[in-house]
């Protein structure tokens, strides 16, 4: 499979159910998808597949087979090709390219979310751009909206989130968040770049943890855990940020996202291949922890995302649930499947271990 030319509104308008979407929403989708190519005798998907993706064939011929029996031949551009291929999950057919095929594929959850906004009138890119006065276009919005976390936020909440955000212009070197201060806002980068640093007793200048750019967010940890800011965020360039107040963030974003589980529910997730994730400090972890847990302190979790497996569900825990809910939010926002252990460490008593 290879990616070719980009999609455009005119092309998407020929496909069902995209043909019913408003131009602004269709344009936002077109900027995020590409037309791919598949060689002859290769499979687009197989019978029994459960991956949530929606396919349309644009050119060439695709054979749909159930077992050894051919049930349909779909040619790009035909009336039958307007509809998605074998959209019911698990797939009832295998889709094989008879000759070289061009096709379009869209994340099924993203598609459902955008169609929902379109039909309820709650997602209008042009209106949002006018509200925010430009400053980086809508790339930051569409970047946020395509994250897995936003797929689980009710459409009405998403509209309220964007409408309640405040736009702030920032200068190079400006400190947006100071380590050790109280949390007040959740931020999204509209344009420009920020750097994340953390001061330690051995490094008063601060250790560089991450660089943030358009579509990245920050500031949620302190809002969720009611703790002090655990890092400093400074503008690397001139830029524009959007910010959401603590109360609005907690009501509109955090509460709909969090997946709280009891210890028995957590144990079932672990038994199905999940992993315990301890977000406390290493000294706390060494003193008492859940058997076979992975330890990544909350302030370090963004830097260690690449070491985590997106195919593994994580049960996040700390002493009380404050830090773990902040850690789970970060994971959820970035496409991981994460749960928070209700009651914290004490509820996992059957699996606690102490150092010898």
Q: Which helix (H) or strand (E) holds 246?
A: helix 246-249
Same domain for 84 and 151? no
Q: Is residue 231 part of a domain?
A: yes
Same domain (yes/no): 245, 289: no
In tens, the pLDDT along 293-352 reads 999 998 888 888 889 999 999 999 998 888 888 889 889 888 899 999 998 888 888 788
Same structural domain for residues 246 and 325?
no
26 and 139 fall within a common domain: no
Residue 141 lies in a domain: yes
pTM score above 0.75: no
Number of folded domains that form the chain: 3
The arithmetic mean of pLDDT across residues 210-217, rounded, is 87
pLDDT at 161 exceeding the cut of 60:
yes
Dist. CA 4–CA 9, nearest whole Å:
16
Check whether residue 339 and residue 223 sit in a common domain.
no
Domain of 96, CATH number, reads: 2.60.120.10
- Residue ending a domain, among 228, 254, 280, is 254
Query: Residue 1: its pLDDT value, please?
Result: 52
pLDDT for 228-260, tens place per residue? 888 899 999 999 998 999 999 888 887 777 889
Cα–Cα distances in angstroms (integers) from residue 53 to residues 58, 85, 307, in the given order: 16, 10, 25
49-104: pLDDT as tens digits: 988 899 999 999 999 999 999 999 999 999 999 999 988 889 999 999 999 999 99
**How many whole angstroms separate alpha carbon 262 and alpha carbon 348?**
9
Structural domain boundaries enclosing 235: 125-254
273: left (phi over 0), alpha (psi -120 to 50) or beta: left
In the three-class reduction of DSSP (H, G, I as helix; E, B as strand; rest coil), residue 235 is classed as: strand
Residues 175, 203, single domain; the answer is: yes
The CATH number given to whatever domain includes residue 325 is 3.40.250.10
Among 230, 254, 278, give the residue marking a domain's end: 254
Give residue-wise pLDDT tens across range 7-50: 888 999 999 888 878 787 788 788 778 899 999 999 999 999 98
Q: Which of helix, strand or coil describes residue 291?
A: coil
In a domain, 117, yes or no: no
In a domain, 115, yes or no: no
d(CA 328, CA 317): 9
Same domain? 135 vs 100:
no
Look at residue 272 in the predicted model and tell me its pLDDT. 95
Among the candidates 207, 238, 254, a domain finishes at 254
Residue 119 within any structural domain of the chain: no
Mean of per-residue pLDDT scores for the chain: 84
- Is residue 356 scored above 50 in pLDDT? no
Q: Is residue 120 part of a domain?
A: no
Residues 84 and 66 in one domain: yes
The 10s digit of each residue's pLDDT in 194-208 is 999 988 777 777 788
Same domain, 93 and 173: no
Same domain, 143 and 245: yes
Closest of 283, 273, 272, 269 to residue 348, by C-alpha: 269
Residues 232 and 166 in one domain: yes
291: in domain: yes
Quote the CA–CA distance of 223 and 208 in Å, as a whole number.
22
* Domain-located, residue 201: yes
Shared-domain flag, residues 92 and 182: no
């Amino acid at each position: 499979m290879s990616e070719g030319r980009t999609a455009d509104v005119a092309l998407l308008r020929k496909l069902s159910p995209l043909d019913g979407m408003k131009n602004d929403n269709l344009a936002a989708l077109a900027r995020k998808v590409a037309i791919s190519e598949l060689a002859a005798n290769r499979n687009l998907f197989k019978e029994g597949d459960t991956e949530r993706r929606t396919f349309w064939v644009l050119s060439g011929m695709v054979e749909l087979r159930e077992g050894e029996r051919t049930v349909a031949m779909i040619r790009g551009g035909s009336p039958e090709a307007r509809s998605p291929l074998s959209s019911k999950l698990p797939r009832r057919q295998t889709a094989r390219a008879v000759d070289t095929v061009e096709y379009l594929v869209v994340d099924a959850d993203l598609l459902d979310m955008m169609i929902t906004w379109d039909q309820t009138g709650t997602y209008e890119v042009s209106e949002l751009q006018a509200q925010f006065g430009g400053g980086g276009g809508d790339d930051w919005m569409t970047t946020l909206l395509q994250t897995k976390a936003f797929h689980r936020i009710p459409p009405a909440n998403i509209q309220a989130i964007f409408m309640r955000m405040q736009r702030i212009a920032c200068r190079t070197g400006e400190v947006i968040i100071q380590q050790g201060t109280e949390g007040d806002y959740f931020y999204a980068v509209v344009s420009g770049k920020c750097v994340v640093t953390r001061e330690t007793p051995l490094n008063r200048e601060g250790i560089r943890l991450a660089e943030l750019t358009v579509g990245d967010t920050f500031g949620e940890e302190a809002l969720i855990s009611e703790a002090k800011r655990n890092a400093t965020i400074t503008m690397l360039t001139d830029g524009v940020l959007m910010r959401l107040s603590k109360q609005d963030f907690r009501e509109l974003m955090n509460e709909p996202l969090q997946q709280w589980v009891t210890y028995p529910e957590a144990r079932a997730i672990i038994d199905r291949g999940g992993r315990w994730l301890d977000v406390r400090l290493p000294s706390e972890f060494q003193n008492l922890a859940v058997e076979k847990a992975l330890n990544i302190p909350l302030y370090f979790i963004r830097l260690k995302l690449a070491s985590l497996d997106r195919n593994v569900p994580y049960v996040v825990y700390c002493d009380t649930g404050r830090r773990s809910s902040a850690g789970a939010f970060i994971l959820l926002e970035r496409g991981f499947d994460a749960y928070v252990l209700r009651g914290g460490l004490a509820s996992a008593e059957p699996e606690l271990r102490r150092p010898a």
